[in-house]
Structure 1
């Protein structure tokens, strides 16, 4: 996992910046009910998305002090450093919980604990919004690089913490039911064939660590043989899932 304290100062610039954040926030807004007044953004990072939701009473939570320091510049007095499995929030205290690009970073036990905490702090009838299936985002739009990479990825991918069926099953046990979904583009994040080959050889993303070494080398050779080596392919398309907590009943 990245050292987010060290990455904080350059994170936005290297992850799509304002364009990606605006797309993410707009997608979140389409899923938020009109009556949401208070919102907790877990793993808020630099606050670049959180700040765009700040018309509501927003609190940002992040484990990284470096990220929280940057976020505090955007949301003075509304960012706290905390573990998402031990939130400094009271039971049933917020109308909505948002988790953007969080669950895929966590192992299965920790992601389950984070979802349980989100359910705890949500009021009855509250809304949980989370990204799911992040690793699939680059393969949502067919193109030559995706066609080459997808078969090798499928053989190397381990069960993901943010897999949509897994998340739905975990939150169902917490009295949250599916209530909507949408997608948004990772503006400016499409990779060229050359960039893909370099990333795969550097074992990014994580599934490449499980790939057969010969298959990975052959894949990179095929990527380098594609035309338009410096031309970025389609941007990734991220998925958001919305769940609603039961209006009555205990977790």
Structure 2
């Protein structure tokens, strides 16, 4: 997992910047029920997405566990940030109308704890909005996708839609229609994908063995146009409603 204390200084420009953040914020806004007054954005990072979740009558807060990320976010969200672990939020039960978790669940091994905590702090009828199937959203139809797909299909991600839906149901959250948005500036390159592979980003796909990973790395290195971005991903934002 990345060191987000070190990443804060250059995080935005390496993650698609404002266009990607605006697309994510727009997707969140599309799924908020009328009358939503409070939203907490988990793992808000630099607040680039969070500050764009704006509409009349809605107050948006950001929470993150990294000091450096929150220093940036606090400038964008003055008085509305808190340093907190997404598994242990400093809020009473039923305190919020909405919780968002954009590009979070695929990063952590404790998905269920985050879902459970979101359910705890939501009022009845409140919504959890979270990205699912993030890795599967990348490179669809590209030569990179053709290489990754056989490995990906054997290991549903931490944020797999079926898994997250089952966890949500176990904690009183029912599925509702979601939406999709474009990951502007996030088209992968063969060289970049190979680098992520070497850094262990896809380690869970290979169950601790190196042979298949090494073969995949060699195949990625053999692709043409090593630094040409492939198509931008289309991310899926799922919605879950807290039972009354």
Question: TM exceeds 0.5?
Answer: yes
Q: Does the 8 Å CA contact 2:206/2:213 hold for their aligned counterparts?
A: no
What is the CA distance between 1:204 and its match in structure 2? Answer: 3.2
Provide the residue aligned with 1:238 in structure 2: 235
Following the alignment from structure 1 to structure 2, what is the Cα–Cα distance between the partners of residues 4 and 25? 21
How far off its partner does 1:242 sit? 0.2
Find the aligned partners of 1:8 and 1:206 in 2 and give their Cα distance: 24
- For the pair 1:150 / 2:128, whether they are aligned, the reply is no
The answer for the alignment partner of 2:87 in structure 1 is 85
Distance 1:206 1:135, change over 3 A: farther
- Corresponding residue for residue 33 of structure 1: 33
Structure 1 match to 2:108: 106
**Structure 1 Cα separation of the partners of residues 205 and 160 of structure 2:** 18
Q: What's the secondary structure of 2:138's corresponding residue?
A: helix
Aligned length: 242
Q: Please give the TM-score of this superposition, normalised by the length of structure 2.
A: 0.90
Report SS of the residue matched to 2:176.
strand
The 1:33/1:194 distance shift into structure 2, 3 A limit, reads same
Structure 2: runs of 5 or more not aligned: none
**Which of 65, 83, 95 in structure 2 is aligned with 1:63?**
65
TM-score (norm 1): 0.88
Identify the residue that residue 220 of structure 1 maps to in structure 2: 217
Give 1:52's aligned residue: 52
Pairwise CA distance, 1:106: 2.1
Which residue does the alignment assign to 1:120? Answer: 120
Q: Which runs of 5+ in 1 are unaligned?
A: none
* Distance in 2 of aligned mates of 1:26 and 1:137: 18
Contact 1:131 1:240 survives alignment (8 Å): yes
Whether contact under 8 Å (1:96, 1:128) holds in the other structure is: yes
**TM-superposed deviation, 1:211:** 6.7
CA distance in 2, matches of 1:228, 1:4: 30
